[in-house]
Amino acid sequence: MTEATPSLYRRLGGYDVIAAIIDDMFALLRADPAFARFGSGRSTDSHMRARQLLVDQMGELTGGPCHYIGRDMVASHAGLAISAAEWDANMKHADAALLKNGVPDAERAEFLALFERYRDDIVE
């Protein structure tokens, strides 16, 4: 990005806003009975690691100084049998979290497109 065109990371408000979006999205996912199988039996540390990895991943993908150190999306979601309906519900929760954090339409669409590019790697 050039100085004339700030990165999505900067337009969103940086790390703290991305972290708030992910926190709100995870809260929505935890509250959705359709996602209970993904959280059941996981430790608090496991949940916190997943949260931090996603914050770092989105921080990097949006052009920020973050560095994602997790596995690729195929490896990290292998065997989870994530359906298209579950993916769509996840995207709905991501959009709701963006709205809750006051992200404008253009930036919301750009952020969601970053998630959407992994659909084929995650949905089985």
Tokens of 22: 């992910």
Distance, in Å, from the CA atom of 19 to the CA atom of 104, rounded to the nearest integer, reads 17
Helix (H) or strand (E) run with residue 63 in it: none
Residue 93, marked binder: no
Q: Directed axis angle between helix 105-116 and helix 84-100, to 10°?
A: 150
Binding residues for heme: 77
Binding residues: 77
